[in-house]
A = this chain, B = another copy of it.
């Protein structure tokens, strides 16, 4: 992992939505580390002390949890501009999850001590982290509904809806939709073809779009 303190274009600090105090922004930028990670690199492993607050600047970081037989399960996926605090941010306890890079990714980490200190002087940072943590919970609730649904059509449509970008296009691969829905890749392909025939989805170079009704 490379360490640098240069400013990041995707940095959440530059996000217009945030209204952090100038002193908070400066302190966070100063304390930040930038990590370039390659495919299958484990960013945080089970039992490791995590590095507090993270932001995915580029690429994708998947969260993997192991079941009793050692099989890996995808529990969440963070794409660029996703800020994620960890339980361990506040409890200092090791995490049982692994955060693994998909392809080439870049992420920024902010040390535990700095984040804690800043929360005590800037409550906006606390609210921002709280919002991010709650949003993660909501995202996973969506996943639970998808996994509980009986119909493949429902699973695929909800996944497309959940991962669509601002233009309404979902850029997930068939393999990724299959991992997310727990359907086989073959079923995902069949379902998409059937939805396309019924004019419920449209495929293009930008991704898959649910046909507006």
Chain A residues engaging chain B, CB cutoff 8 angstroms: 63, 65, 67-69, 71, 73, 75-76, 85-87, 89-91, 97, 116, 119-120, 123, 126-131, 133-138, 140-145, 147-149, 151, 154, 157-158, 182
Complex CA–CA separation, A25 to B100 (angstroms): 40
List residues of chain B with CB within 8 A of the CB of A148.
73, 147, 182
User: Chain B nearest CB: distance from A82 CB in Å?
Assistant: 13
Complex CA–CA separation, A73 to B119 (angstroms): 36
Number of copies: 2
B134 A140 Cβ-Cβ under 8 A: no
List residues of chain B with CB within 8 A of the CB of A97.
138, 141
A87-B138, A126-B123, A134-B86 as given contacts; A147 in contact with B182, CB under 8 Å: yes
Q: Which single residue of chain B is at the shortest CB-CB distance from A135?
A: B87
